[in-house]
Structure 1
Amino acid sequence: MKKLFTAALAVLAAISLVPLQAAARNQADVIIRHATIVDVEHGQLLPDQAVATLGDRIVAVGNDADVARRWRGRQTLDGRNRYLIPGLWDMHVHFGGGEALIEENRALLPLYVAHGVTTVRDASGDLPLQVLDWRREIAEDSLFGPTLLSSGPKIEGLNPVWKGTIETGSEADVDRAIEQLKALNVDFVKITDSTLKPELFLYAIRQARAAGLRTSGHIPMQLTLDQVVDAGLSSIEHLGYAYNAGAKDEAAIAADFAAGRITRQEARARLDTGFDRDTAMAAYRKLAQKGVFVTPTLNGSRVIAYLDRDDHQGDDYLAYIGPGLRKTYEWRVQRAAGATPAQIEQRHARYQRVAAVIPLLQQAGVTIMAGTDAGFLNSFNYPGVGLHDELALFVELGLTPAQALSAATRAGPAWFGQLDQYGSIDEGKAADLVLLERNPLEDIQATRAIHTVLLRGAVQDRAALDRALADTHAKVAAWNAEAAR
């Protein structure tokens, strides 16, 4: 009788514990169940994992059964047979074309999210203050779009080619420019070289660095890669500038160009003929040692190089690009169309030569950042989808899918010193995640097969992503109709 009574008490105790155990589980906003996490840092897969998020942060990651026992979510996503990666970063985009195109530019923001891009680095156009306003509105959750990190207006010389700049002709001008950019709370400094004196280019890098700001930019032909690296440049934009450092007589070419003894075209020809693999590798190892990153922006270069083979007039994606932005494409299109057959062949050859240094950078230990150069001016280089084109080119040129994926998920946070918040799927990190239908370590094209995006913790399922695309499509259709009247 006593044994029966004891057994009954045990059953009652077990029954009474069930609701207490359930109540003891932590409350999450979202739980992704049974997903395969892609550990980008180590290039490996972690099967049957669960991820719990609360607000814009990841609060739990681990074996599915363990996380599900400790957490319950207001919303549950099925990750079975799917692959979870950190949000993608496009580290070189532009917004511009003049104030008349503000709305057309704003309509590009959802395109990034719809393609899994949760953060973009704005490398400055001619709407820098507008972009800084969007940065604030996105952070306040009053505007839908990827997290924006922006340089604000570029530092340039007097009467530059590019608009939306701070013009400088002296060291005092540069000092004022740095103060102005600090007041705007920019995320980094962009320096370009259309009219900026080479000595001021180097001075601007040093002053920005002294002010605690990262610098990015083009490299004047009067300077060598060594000079800008020693001055403290943080990232080189466009692969061609890194390619130039492979010329054995780069310093002599820079000096001859600075003295006016050779034209720009002659300088480029000498850089091409003087390229040497050992010289390049030595230069790239120095980049790695100094922590200078490279953003190749290959896709834009490829499009322009081969406009003779594909004029892109049949691209479906043009339906998402407003008529004013499409018109800004004409400058590069017309310039390419004016080339002779010999010049076209030279264009193809140069693209191939420059692109071929991608694996050399990787071998030298340089951090490669995925960036598209998408936006106004850069013909048929489309926001959002362009990043996937860029990654495909990286793999085509010799990078592994894991290396390409790292360039789009870890390199950007590393450059900004934010790997403690982004770049992997770990507890405490940002809830910027992309759930894929296929394995990107097996095929980099899988980054296009997006099931769901978590943007700062908010779930954007396939239906929501399609609605974002449809909304931009409808806006562009209306602008097209208005332009046709």
Structure 2
Amino acid sequence: MNLKQPLFLVLCFLQFWIESCQNTKVSPTLMPTYVIRNVNIIPMTASKELINNATVIIQNRKIVAINEAIPNNATIIEGKGKWLLPGLIDMHVHNLADVNFSNNFPTKGATLFTNNQDFMSLYITNGVTTILELSARVEHFGQRNEIIKGNVIGPRVAMAFLIDGGEDSGNNANTPEEGRQTVRIAKAQGYEFIKVYSRLNQATFNAIVQEAQKQGMKVVGHIPNVFRGKLAEAFIPNFGLVAHAEEFSKQSKSFSFSDAQRFAQLAKENDTWLTPTLITMVRIAQQTHSLDSIKNSPLLKYVPPLMQSKWLFSNNYNRETDPKRIARIDSMVAFHQILVKAFKEAKVPIIAGTDAGVSGVIWGFSLHDEIALLVDAGLSPDEALTSATRLPAQWLGIEDKIGTVERGKMADLLLLDANPLDDIANTRKIAGVFVNGCWVNKKTLRQMLFEAQKHHKANQAKEESNWKNRKNF
């Protein structure tokens, strides 16, 4: 079989996707009715009440009932001894998509291609059913459409349009009017959020955030460098989410708890939430010491070969390291935990994101790392799970659709073999996943990863899989 038509499409799509889910836009009656029986539910609602030994009924992609009579002809999933919670949400990702690194010409298009199923499998096999792409481009719309059409099993994808200052290629704005117009263009093109970046000047930053509010678009991103020494001026209405704890550590010389408290108070007063991306700085710190954390990772085999090559042989975190930089980054890792404690104390909402795609931060898997780090930093398991379910859905404005296990919500669900409230590491003990109302069991999840690994291994030696050759295609 051709690698572009993976065995997975036979084993998985024919098993349940084409038969039960793909054709639902034509005839919703083709959707199977699923019943999860005898399951313990962690609804992730604000009340924090658990529902033990429950029956969950899923029809036409939605949860239609809890603890009601089981319909005839339902597909039964035994949930005895298992735990059901909403599908996880990663609020900071950078997805691979088809790209051209070389010189362009009319009609050329992409030259390096992503196997979308292999890539999206990393999310689904980890129970990640919604993501926020924070550097979205037109290729990501096509990628999302393939998921929506049912050609690829993948998460829901929200997309933010990145705007920076400076003169490099990209979406740059250096005056208020350029900033406002760039926001309008992003809105017209279908992007849902705006991401601000580090080199924006103050007037342009203000104009972007204000115009985004007019356009009904929330703003997420970096705190531009121009605000160093005058941080309070960055916190203006509609700057709704800081994308890294690092954005605050850049503002601190002492890495003190008092600094962390001051930052938390500024965020609280402006209703600005935080995505700490703790795992990002942990992985960067490891790489400044050596590349062993990547070389020895049992998960590296699931990473596309081009990225493996980049991480191992063109790794700037390792190549540009020195003792002073190592010491500062190690200090930042410690400070970020202090920062999370201060934000929790100030009751600033903290939501989980990973910056997946940064060297060593592997899509899907990294969200479990992030959740565990949030617990290490002082969040309870319940709070850490809330940061990856209900709160992200609320910030995205789709809390009526996902984020909790309730009647009427879309069936994006994670079934676990053990209780994550007892031990947050249990989020990795996945028995199965509901993806937009379709059940993917443990056997199929394992097959998805196996297929991705097999394809990557087959492509490892190809010239286009060498990062140094990327501009030759």
TM-score category, normalised to shorter length = 0.7 to 0.9
Match of 2:278 in 1: 298
Quickly say closer, same or farther: Cα 1:191–1:104, change in 2 above 3 A. farther
Is this contact kept in 2: 1:28–1:72, CA < 8 A? Answer: no
Match of 2:86 in 1: 86
Alignment pair present for 1:51 and 2:56: yes
- Among 278, 295, 301, the residue aligned to 1:319: 301
Range with bigger deviation, 99-108 or 363-372: 99-108
Match of 1:233 in 2: 239
Quickly say closer, same or farther: Cα 1:105–1:32, change in 2 above 3 A. closer
Quickly say closer, same or farther: Cα 1:316–1:133, change in 2 above 3 A. same
Deviation at 1:186, TM superposition (A): 1.2
Alignment pair present for 1:242 and 2:248: yes
Is this contact kept in 2: 1:55–1:456, CA < 8 A? Answer: no
- Among 137, 152, 171, the residue aligned to 2:176: 171
Deviation at 1:242, TM superposition (A): 3.3
Matches within 5 A, 1:94-105: 94-96=94-96, 98-99=99-100, 100-103=111-114
Alignment pair present for 1:397 and 2:377: yes
Q: For residue 456 of structure 1, what is the amino acid of its counterpart? A: N
Q: Percent identity?
A: 27
**What SS does the corresponding residue of 2:406 show, helix, strand or coil?**
coil
Match of 2:77 in 1: 77
Match of 2:108 in 1: none
Indicate the structure (1 or 2) with the bigger Cα radius of gyration. 1
Alignment pair present for 1:37 and 2:41: yes
**What SS does the corresponding residue of 2:362 show, helix, strand or coil?**
coil
Within 1, Cα distance between the matches of 2:293 and 2:423? 28
Give the alignment's TM-score, normalised by structure 2: 0.83
The alignment's C-alpha RMSD in Å is 2.3
Alignment pair present for 1:157 and 2:165: yes
Match of 1:140 in 2: 149
Within 2, Cα distance between the matches of 1:322 and 1:463? 22
Q: For residue 131 of structure 2, what is the amino acid of its counterpart? A: V
Q: Name structure 1 gaps, 5 residues minimum.
A: 1-26, 246-270
Deviations 1:334-359 (A, max 9, x none): 44344333432332122212332112
- Among 114, 121, 131, the residue aligned to 2:132: 121
Give the alignment's TM-score, normalised by structure 1: 0.81
Is this contact kept in 2: 1:101–1:324, CA < 8 A? Answer: no
Within 2, Cα distance between the matches of 1:326 and 1:159? 30
**What SS does the corresponding residue of 1:238 show, helix, strand or coil?**
coil
Within 2, Cα distance between the matches of 1:327 and 1:225? 38
**What SS does the corresponding residue of 1:316 show, helix, strand or coil?**
coil
Greater than 4 Å deviation, 4+ residue runs? none
Quickly say closer, same or farther: Cα 1:70–1:344, change in 2 above 3 A. closer
Quickly say closer, same or farther: Cα 1:40–1:343, change in 2 above 3 A. same
Match of 2:123 in 1: 112
Q: For residue 393 of structure 1, what is the amino acid of its counterpart? A: L
Match of 2:325 in 1: 343
Quickly say closer, same or farther: Cα 1:50–1:242, change in 2 above 3 A. farther
Q: Which structure has greater helix proportion?
A: 1
Matches within 5 A, 1:439-450: 439-450=419-430
**What SS does the corresponding residue of 1:312 show, helix, strand or coil?**
helix
Quickly say closer, same or farther: Cα 1:101–1:438, change in 2 above 3 A. farther
Within 1, Cα distance between the matches of 2:43 and 2:268? 23
Is this contact kept in 2: 1:453–1:459, CA < 8 A? Answer: yes
Q: For residue 189 of structure 1, what is the amino acid of its counterpart? A: I
Within 1, Cα distance between the matches of 2:82 and 2:459? 38
Within 2, Cα distance between the matches of 1:171 and 1:449? 49
Q: Name structure 2 gaps, 5 residues minimum.
A: 1-30, 101-110, 467-473
Match of 1:381 in 2: 361
Give the total of aligned pairs. Answer: 419
Within 2, Cα distance between the matches of 1:239 and 1:55? 40
Is this contact kept in 2: 1:202–1:231, CA < 8 A? Answer: no
